Chains A and B, each alone.
Chain A
Amino acid sequence: MALRVFGLNIIKNNRNILQNVGKTNGVPTNQGAAAALYATQVTVEAAPAAVQKQKVSKAMKSYLKRANEHDEFMKTQHLEFQIGKRHLANMMGADAETFTQEDINEAISYLFPSGLYDKKARPTMRTPDEVFPARKAAEFDETGRPFHSMFYTAKPNFFQLLHDIVEETNKLNDLEERMLRRGNKPDENQKLETAGFQLLPKEHLERVLVEQIADIEYQNFSNSMERLIASPYAYKSKAFIERFLKPLIDQSKQLEVPKPKIDEQGRQYITTYECLRKTARADVTVRLPGTGKITINGQDISYFSVEQSKEQLLFPLHFCDMLGKVDVEANVEGGGTSGQAGAIRWGIAMSLRSFVDQEMIESMRLAGLLTRDYRRRERKKFGQEGARRKYTWKKR
């Protein structure tokens, strides 16, 4: 009952759905809606009376048997889940009828507190529909005759998809030709914007199709999709294309540049708090019309005696060509020399974004100046001299 795998919610209890046991899919997914297109395409009522009269194929027989077993299994799972939920609700002193999944999660994390780092490794309790992965329904009728014309390719959904893509492409090509003949041009305003998107990755696509595909097949898929997207009239089949696009992680939010404030002397300034590196914590203020004065905890740059730390500190300023144009004030505590220098470097770089153009910000990002360095000290291991180094090998 309490396993933590998310499955496809395609099993409907009131309808006895035939399931193809042989085609299991253990990969977690949230693409229930998309998957439903393919996976529920073929649904056969299990064991209708008419079946008895007709000749039933051996494959169908064994499939029906497994499907029944699975249904039974799911039924008991559901029952157990309901009982478990009731128990939980009692323990928590809540009403079992109105006990929602959120309440369950809360109760579990309260009753079974776990120190495990990975959230997926912590105990959970979910409905069996989510826990047990969906399986493909039977793709043939009682007489053993497949529904899908590409059944014997073993991957009908995938090849159907390829087929569809090519069909769309051809449609667009025809359209383009017609438009050319008429002298019309594609509408620039409606142009398909794919900058922030990427094609579904392979695992994702497999989940959608409920089929395992090979690398080369995925390559075929992405090639044909690219061909389709490259068409000038791609916006005509926007709905189709968008089913296979995934938005990239939005980085603009992270890179949102704060507006500089004005201090009492009329200078622009930006303060970046929580500049972290190793165990050092710093806050850095950068003031724009400046003379290049650097103040660290009240001292000048000689606060750092090591050459490398000074270089670290000056690097963002030098990179943006702002040496001698801004003043820097930093308060830093914790950590060692290089950690403190790294923290201030990050703070300066983040603050400087407000004073340079977008292009420079981008090159700063590419130079790694705006990336937080998460590396920490690695622990020593027993039986070893240090984190990685082994003791000197001695024959005896």
Chain B
Amino acid sequence: MFRNQLGNLSRVSSQLQRISRVELMSTEVQPAESANSVINEFRTAVTSPGEHSALQLAKFYKIPAEEKKQIFAGGGLPKQYEQQIKTFTEACLMVRQPALELLNYIKNADLSKPAVRYVIYGDNGVGKTLTMAHVLHYGSLNDFLLVHVPWAPNWTKRPKESTNSSTQEGFIDLPFDAAAWLVHFKTQNAKLLQKLQLKTSKEYVWSKRESTPAGATLVELIEHGIARIKYATETTAALISELKLLSTGGQCKVLVAIDGFNAFFHPITRIFSDNKQLVTPDRITLTQPFLDITKYDWTNGICVLSVDKIAMTEGYMDSYMPRYLLGKTGFEHLDPFVPVHVTNYTDKEFLSCINYYMDRHWITKTQPGFEEQLKFMSNHNPYTLMQIVRGL
């Protein structure tokens, strides 16, 4: 019904497109800088998340391509959002209240105190991951080492390979996932690692012949883990314990961001041991370092965690509240934490989003009152809105 109604005014919209194209051409005469930073009511030229304030609320800012490539190359943006970015040929994020709140906390945090845990929670499709992406962008620009897990349930739900751990009896290793994470860590922090030249504090002996001596750079450690996939899990653990030490020592700042953190406490996984027994996440070696780094026994760090209904399995998706999703152990593990609630769009954000879609010619066929229909159909939910206006 809805699409047909949208289809009625195709001619008018094509006319409008033609006009807007003419406008674009006319702006080319002006200096290149002003043409790039076209400021509309839904767009802001402030591209640094550190400078975002309530002034930029509900406006889109553009993540430069190289920064986007550096931070989100190994994941971190939802797949469908990634596709949309590709279509729009620009990576834009909306400045929203929860992200601003979180950035405000982070900016004013006293890093000499134990790491503060922020838990992002909210219903499906409200923008938890994108809030985290916003914070990641901030962290990357402000010399934080990013310890970013794009989607933790990937390890419990669809691991690439699982083997028995050689060091810990009864535990399961996920060598490929660990190596992939090391690659992700390396690409995200390549520049900073180069700059800081962080050294390991002790010698790590992997086998009789292989070892990483004390005083080796972290890059060497990581590269060994990537090259010798067998030891990737242990390398991850070593790396994270080193990071904790280094940041506590004041040599670096660490921003931990784990999406779908509650997967670490959800007893149901798709990993099975040799005797076909279901392996709980606490028996997976890869989860241990990340549980370790989310404790508050270190300083100079920030933990941004998100809890998500989708990280659970069927039958455990009744509520999106952290206590329900984390369970008792998870809640006690994180307690005390700062909850950040992400909600559906406000009217202002919704209109801004519609304007952005129109600007991108993603919505072209409009008729009076179409926003109202979209608003009620999507119930202000960002993901649903994206689904409704998507191509067939």
B-binding residues in A (CB < 8 A) = 292, 294, 300-302, 307, 310-311, 314-315, 317-318, 323-324
Contacts and interface: CB of A to CB of B under 8 A. Distances in A.
A311 B1 CA distance: 8
Most B Cβ at <10 Å: residue of A315, A318, A324: A318
A318 to B, nearest CB: 6
A278 B2 CA distance: 24
Given A307-B388, A323-B372, A324-B372, A315 B379 contact: no
Which secondary structure dominates chain B's binding surface?
A: helix
Nearest to B377: A310
A148 B381 CA distance: 82
Contact of A302 (B1, B372, B379): B379
A338 to B, nearest CB: 14
A292 B350 CA distance: 15
Interface of B: 1-2, 123, 369, 372-373, 375-377, 379, 381, 384, 388
A315 B1 contact: yes
Given A302-B381, A311-B377, 8 more contacts: A300-B379, A301-B376, A301-B379, A307-B377, A310-B377, A314-B377, A323-B369, A323-B376
30 contacts: A292-B376, A294-B376, A300-B379, A301-B376, A301-B377, A301-B379, A302-B123, A302-B379, A302-B381, A302-B384, A307-B377, A307-B388, A310-B376, A310-B377, A311-B1, A311-B2, A311-B377, A314-B373, A314-B376, A314-B377, A315-B1, A317-B376, A318-B373, A323-B369, A323-B372, A323-B373, A323-B376, A324-B372, A324-B375, A324-B376
A317 B373 CA distance: 10
A384 B224 CA distance: 65
Contacts of B123: 302
A309 to B, nearest CB: 11
A249 B227 CA distance: 85
A317 B376 CA distance: 10
Contacts of B373: 314, 318, 323
A369 to B, nearest CB: 13
Contacts of A314: 373, 376-377
A323 B376 CA distance: 8
A235 B376 CA distance: 55
A300 B376 CA distance: 10
Nearest to A317: B376
A320 B332 CA distance: 52
A129 B375 CA distance: 68
Nearest to B380: A300
A2 to B, nearest CB: 55
Nearest to A323: B372
Contacts of A323: 369, 372-373, 376
Contacts of A324: 372, 375-376
A329 B249 CA distance: 58
A391 B372 CA distance: 47
B50 to A, nearest CB: 35
A318 B371 CA distance: 12
Nearest to A300: B379
Nearest to B5: A318
A89 B1 CA distance: 63
Contacts of B2: 311
A159 to B, nearest CB: 55
Nearest to A314: B376
A368 to B, nearest CB: 13
